[in-house]
Structure 1
Amino acid sequence: MDKLLIKLINSFGVSGKEDEVREVIKERLNEMNQDMYEDDIGNVIVKLGSGTTKIMLCTHMDSVGFIVNHIDDDGMIRVDNIGNFKKEDISHSFIRFDNGTLGKIYTSHEGEFVDIGVNEKEDALKKVNEGDMASLVGPYLSVGDNNVISPLLHNKVGCYILLKLIEYVKVENAELDFVFASQGEIGGIGARIAANNINPDYCIIVGTENATNAEERKNNINIDEGPVIKIMDSSLIMHKDIKEMLENCAKRSEINLQYSISTGKSEGELVHKERIGIRTGEIAVPCRYKYSTSEMVSINDIEDTIKVLKQLENLKEII
């Protein structure tokens, strides 16, 4: 597995506390001698090329997580969710607090509890305090035919794709703005602010889409069968110009596409409403067991998504 992807996976980045993952992104951009800027909300933005047409490529760098709301007398730590996910998908998982403290999370009808291996509240308070944040943590494993299993792939994959594009793409007669957005899991705050500041003609969200797995057998999206064009979700219908653009990119790069209609949401829900309206759509990497400690994606799908989006450098031929 690429060392950059591993570094992104291992970086702490719960919504509102993205410092560690942000530094990994900035460090990689510095290694490429790439100009960037960070806005007041914490977005990292890279501008390539110039021209009358602006395309914003956006992925969020934050992940879902937990925040401590109370510590019981027996040392058990009560937490609330940051972001939306199913409690049953994370029960008995391992988590890491931002100071490095490890624990096991258990969910029940009484709430969500973290066990860090102590028996008294005062011992827990030596390591964790109310308001501290924690993230899912686990190993990254190579499985099957060039697939990877790890927690937090659903947001780190998008960051990896944008970083690779910045490294390889050569832009002429257009402006590409790459946005590593903050607080995507709690309302797409960073993406909305970036869209207002950049005022793009088009916005392409780079994310992940639920794929067929052991629990969802009837899904028409499969890993290792190409990137997904999200035609519609519960909050956005892809703009026809974005759809045509991405299909032309795929045709030029000879990459197979999959198409989804889902009940999920993404930053596109809010971005397309900004300013006087922005033509918006999403391309996604298929992901099994999303929002769990064992998310699974295909490296082939990641590489194919990069190949498709790299064709944006030939903007005159694909619009």
Structure 2
Amino acid sequence: MDNTKLNFLKQLLDTFGPSGNEEHIRELIQKEIKDYVDEIKIDSLGNLIAHKKGIGKKIMLAAHMDEIGLIITHIDKNGFLRFSNIGGVSASISLGQKISLKDGTIGVVSSEHLEEIKELKLDKLYIDIGANSREEAEKKVSIGSVVSFYGPLSVNDNRAISKAMDDRIGCFVLVEIIKNMKDNNKDLYFVFTVQEELGIRGAKTSAYGIDPDLGIAVDVTSTGDTPKCKSMEVSLGKGPTVKIMDGSVMCHPRVKELLISTAKKYNIPYQLEVLEYGGTDAGAIHLTREGIPSGAVSIPTRYIHSPGEMVDLKDVEYAIELLAKSLQEEI
């Protein structure tokens, strides 16, 4: 991946954007794609919808802009911050991590004294931003302030590590398809959705408004290639996955066959994914109106919902190729 692409990916990943606070991500993406699409709009919920007009089938591709985060619930007299979760946040992963406020202030998550590690829960944790009193803390933060984890992008050869790969890497894939697509014989809607981590909300409203003939979500998925992990036939570096099912969707045969046949036709590495939990925007798209044939392409990712999510950049490049080629096929 060249430096121009990596620089844009770094901007996407480093930018603050927990669920419900996607405006900076939206602005960044809009600026990047505005010269490559026919129309851009932001709907009432905040989804960014980019339209490349065509006369063929109406296809919706979706990737979510939001990331997991924390929300401040209490500030004590000494300036320590109590919080709740935004999306799937683990107490064990959160402990000891750096966090970032919206203004760029960095803090750290620590814990009350515990007799046993099994007592570790979110309500035992607090954030320390270095304040000496409630009044000092309130200059930076208030009840309801949103917090993201701090995990700047690092790249070791083809392995990239960062917070918010879930799902800025999917947004990156869509942006690259938009910028590099030359011929378009479909009516394409690229949707950068909001609040996926809170229940695939943005995909639900945007799919209703677009009413596509077919929907494809681009998101991350877990792997089965780390020590003593839950068994799963997905590994880093072996290509993107074609989703068969997850906790939110049983993917439509039409979409699966399109993606698999395209991968075989162009010798694009791919894997098949059965995720026994979780979900993606496809889970909302396929239940829209009378039902939309839907599926997903996923980027294999280690350590999902942590500040150190890891992907293989070769898988990302192959995902871009797979989706771009699929959009040229007969649908």
For the criterion TM > 0.5, the same-fold answer is yes
SS in 2 for 1:250: helix
Report the counterpart of residue 146 of structure 1 in structure 2: 158
Counterpart of 1:221, as a letter, is V
Report the counterpart of residue 128 of structure 1 in structure 2: 141
* TM-score, normalised relative to structure 2: 0.91
Mapped contact 1:95–1:103 kept (Cα < 8 A): yes
1:268 aligns with 2:272: no
1:205 aligns with 2:217: yes
Q: What's the Cα RMSD here?
A: 1.6
Mapped contact 1:35–1:46 kept (Cα < 8 A): yes
Alpha-carbon distance, 1:34 to partner: 5.6
User: What residue ranges of structure 1 are gaps of 5+ in the alignment?
Assistant: none
4+ residue runs of structure 1 moved beyond 4 angstroms?
31-34
Alpha-carbon distance, 1:75 to partner: 1.2
C-alpha distance after superposition, 1:275-304 (max 9, x if no partner) = 000111111000000111111000100000
Alpha-carbon distance, 1:101 to partner: 1.5
Aligned partners of 2:148, 2:263: CA distance in 1, in Å? 35
Mapped contact 1:171–1:313 kept (Cα < 8 A): no
Choose the corresponding residue for 1:239, options 245, 249, 252: 252
Report the counterpart of residue 197 of structure 2 in structure 1: 185
Over the matched positions of the two proteins, sequence identity in percent amounts to 34
Report the counterpart of residue 168 of structure 1 in structure 2: 180
Alpha-carbon distance, 1:68 to partner: 0.5
* TM-score, normalised relative to structure 1: 0.94
**288-297 vs 122-131, which moves further:** 122-131
Aligned partners of 2:66, 2:162: CA distance in 1, in Å? 16
Aligned partners of 1:23, 1:215: CA distance in 2, in Å? 41
Mapped contact 1:252–1:311 kept (Cα < 8 A): no
**4-13 vs 134-143, which moves further:** 134-143
Counterpart of 1:218, as a letter, is S
Aligned partners of 2:194, 2:15: CA distance in 1, in Å? 14
Aligned partners of 2:19, 2:58: CA distance in 1, in Å? 28
Report the counterpart of residue 117 of structure 1 in structure 2: 130
Aligned partners of 1:228, 1:22: CA distance in 2, in Å? 26
User: What residue ranges of structure 2 are gaps of 5+ in the alignment?
Assistant: 112-119
Aligned partners of 2:184, 2:195: CA distance in 1, in Å? 31
1:297 aligns with 2:314: no
Report the counterpart of residue 320 of structure 2 in structure 1: 306
